[in-house]
Amino acid sequence: MSKLQYYCASSLDGYIAESDDSLTWLTGYEGSYDGADAEPSPMEAGGSYERFYGGIGALVMGSATYEFILDHQADGGSWPYAGKPTWVLTSRDLPEPEGDDVDVRIGAATVEDIHDEVVAAAGERHVWVVGGGNVASQYADAGLLDELLLTIVPVVLGHGKPLFDRRLPGGALQLAGTSVFGSGMVELRYELAR
């Protein structure tokens, strides 16, 4: 059965982006860790992102995340999630990316409204709640979020866009695993009670 997974990077003090949506604290990070237990950094070939993304069948995101992706598309402007249906939750009219095998569905809906359709589209794979914190909070509030896969980047921002917009219902999360990367980042995997 598909799991709904919120997979993202966060500063040490719990922010997923700066107030202006900038990610230079993440993209410019150059730390290291030489321990024997170090895995390849998440974005390296064979790293945790590649393994995670291989198990994803559908994606959900908010408008700010979507617009950031459109503004920063890799590969000369191609949609990075081709072949995977993507829902964008917004009440605004937004442009749709062009290209082969692009399936982006933009509209005003609640996470409960689209849940069955998203899970069906994911098939045997998982659903990636890309962000931001408001969309992840909506999934948690609805009792639909299964896992938090959080890569902690050892920088302190002091302010910005939070990991979640509000306190999670249900109390503490259950730690399911950790990974330490050669970059000095650490991934924490948590299960949420449903």
Using 50, 70 and 90 to split pLDDT, how confident is the model at 99?
Answer: confident
Report how far apart, in Å, the C-alpha atoms of 131 and of each of 39, 135, 136 are: 25, 6, 6
pLDDT of residue 16: 96
pLDDT of residue 76: 61
* Residue 51 C-alpha from the chain's centroid: 14
Q: Does the structure show a pLDDT above 80 at 57?
A: yes
SS3 41: coil
Q: Let me know if 19 is exposed, middle or buried by CB neighbors in 10 A (0-12, 13-18, 19+).
A: exposed
Residue with tokens 């995340």: 65
- CB of 152 within 8 A of CB of 85? no
pLDDT of residue 1: 80
Query: Mean pLDDT for the chain?
Result: 92
pLDDT of residue 66: 94
What residues make up the domain containing 48? 4-191
Mean predicted confidence (pLDDT) in 130-149: 95
Q: Does the structure show a pLDDT above 80 at 194?
A: no
Beta-carbon count within 10 A of 157 CB:
19
Q: Does the structure show a pLDDT above 70 at 169?
A: yes
8: phi then psi, degrees, rounded to nearest 5 = -160, 170
Q: Does the structure show a pLDDT above 80 at 15?
A: yes
CATH number at residue 175: 3.40.430.10
Number of domain units in the chain: 1
